Amino acid sequence: MAEPLVVALLGFGNVGSSVWQLIEERSRRLGWAAGRPITVRRALVRDPGKPRPVTPPPGFLTTDLDEVLSDPAVEAVVELMGGLEPADTYVRRALSAGKSVVTANKELISRDGPELLRLAREHGAQLRFEASVGAGIPIIRPIEEMLVANRITRVTGILNGTTNYIVSRMASAGATFREALAEAQELGYAEPDPSDDVEGRDTARKLAILASYAFGSWVSPDSVYTEGITALDPVDLGYAAQLGYAVRLVGTAIHREAGIEARVHPALVPQDHPLASVRGPANAIFVEGDPVGELMFYGLGAGGYATASAILGDLVQVARGSRPWRPEPRSGAEAAPVLPADAIHSAYYLRLEVADSPGTLAALAGAMARHGISLRQVLQMRAQEGRAEVVFVTHPAGEAEMRQARKEIEALPSVHRVASLLRYHDGTHGNPPRRSTGPSGTSA
């Protein structure tokens, strides 16, 4: 029988214990797929006495990193600690010792992926991170291997289950952001500190990794234009539904001639588009390539067993000595430029609170026209006590022009405030909305 792949875990929380359990329960199947047995020898933890959902065998847990990295039998390390430190230091030490690393750490990979891949290559190890983007959804290996014949031009989708649950509840129950967040935390979908999720940073990291492999050029998460969902108002979700749209936090990366466009923001998605039907904590990713066309990957984007599924798939590849078919993404001076936010071109939804007086709409339309923005629809939603709520839907326009128009609009004496500004999902912005069902709707 072939020698087993001996594995050590860095972390034994929800995901780490799920990895260990699945290896124990499905050892025969994994061994058949890998061509040799896979076994876990150690798990590094901070507190061995902490209550855990499973009980590992005596001596399995350790607080000594050297017991893991100095053990010549350990061939692969699974990093499940999350965050940048000490995970970054531990991963670098493992790779430098010639041990392959499997991780779900999107923050680490999106920031330091090129350096860690170089370190792995120099020491004859592998670095694999399928679980860093969609948890149980296979996406990196399909892009890297099965779609190798394609020129991929676009990746887009819902990449964070926490925000998708919150936005879904805001739309279905009319809940405020704070109410929906509290519910998500109570159900375990949101962390006690949800800022990375709700401010869009988690989605930006995942999108950066996806774009890097789809386009063969590393994208830093810092270069991804990012808006979260904290400012979303259930009023806008209701109006969007009347217009025939759902609002989702969407990450989109497009390979253009001038460079890579990468952005994360709430977007209006047509109700007949598959992304609009993605509710709760699920994720969905679209990949568009030539010649394959458009593909959709859907499933749970978080959770112990879903993440463990991807990690075990990576461990099988390590055990088999597999190597990716695509070359590593270009980095540094060789990487394609990431376009600035002003390069975004979209249709816009703009909700304003204005004076209900003659000439107001003409002044607003004039401000838009002076910046080259044409209006597709003007909808007066509510009017009371001398104030009116107006929604503008524009034809596709440049981001820079829209920002300038907004600044001019905010300075108009008849405008009380710009209540919200949302973009339409890329790929649909040429024809939004198809028909208005809002009250007092008029087309401009």
The CATH number linked to 371 is 3.30.70.260
Nearest to 54, CA basis, from 13, 23, 82, 26: 13
In a domain, 415, yes or no: yes
* Percentage of the residues of the chain whose pLDDT score is greater than 90: 74
- Do residues 174 and 123 share a domain? no
| One-character DSSP codes across 238-298 | HHHHHHTEEEEEEEEEEEETTEEEEEEEEEEEETTSGGGG--TTEEEEEEEEETTEEEEEE
Domain tally for the chain? 3
| pTM, two decimal places | 0.91
CB-based burial of residue 402 (10 Å sphere; 0-12 exposed, 13-18 middle, 19+ buried)?
buried
In a domain, 370, yes or no: yes
In a domain, 192, yes or no: yes
- Do residues 242 and 378 share a domain? no
Is the pLDDT score of 435 beyond 50?
no
In a domain, 327, yes or no: no
In a domain, 310, yes or no: no
pLDDT class for 326, splitting at 50, 70, 90? Answer: low
Is the pLDDT score of 58 beyond 70?
yes
- Do residues 161 and 254 share a domain? yes
Q: Which of 240, 275, 298 is the last residue of a domain?
A: 298
Asked whether the beta carbons of 250 and 268 are under 8 A apart, the reply is no
- Do residues 123 and 153 share a domain? no
Write down the mean pLDDT value for the chain.
Answer: 90
Each residue's pLDDT tens digit, 35-56: 999 999 999 999 888 888 788 8
- Do residues 249 and 153 share a domain? yes
Helices (H), 123-270: 131-134, 140-141, 161-173, 177-186, 195-198, 201-215, 234-243
CB half-sphere exposure, 172, CA atoms < 13 A: 13
Catalytically active residues, by annotation: 206
Each residue's pLDDT tens digit, 126-172: 999 999 998 889 999 999 888 888 999 999 999 999 999 999 999 98
pLDDT class for 427, splitting at 50, 70, 90? Answer: low
Its sign, for the CA torsion 215, 217, 219, 224, is: negative
- Do residues 384 and 268 share a domain? no
- Do residues 231 and 277 share a domain? yes
- Do residues 194 and 233 share a domain? yes
- Do residues 103 and 225 share a domain? no
Q: Which of 13-17, 102-106, 216-220, 245-249 has the lowest mean pLDDT?
A: 13-17
In a domain, 374, yes or no: yes
What pLDDT is recorded for position 373?
Answer: 94
What's the CATH code of the domain at 65?
Answer: 3.40.50.720
What pLDDT is recorded for position 144?
Answer: 87
Q: Which of 298, 330, 360 is the last residue of a domain?
A: 298
Which domain does 57 fall in, by range?
5-129
In a domain, 84, yes or no: yes
DSSP-based three-state secondary structure for 318: helix
Task: Say how far apart CA 439 and CA 366 lie, in whole Å.
Answer: 23
pLDDT class for 1, splitting at 50, 70, 90? Answer: low
- Do residues 109 and 209 share a domain? no
Which one of 179-183, 184-188, 375-379, 439-443 scores highest in mean pLDDT? 179-183
In a domain, 339, yes or no: no
Is the pLDDT score of 438 beyond 60?
no
375 vs 442, higher pLDDT: 375
Asked whether the beta carbons of 191 and 197 are under 8 A apart, the reply is yes
- Amino acid (1-letter code) at residue 6: V
- Do residues 194 and 250 share a domain? yes
- Do residues 159 and 106 share a domain? no
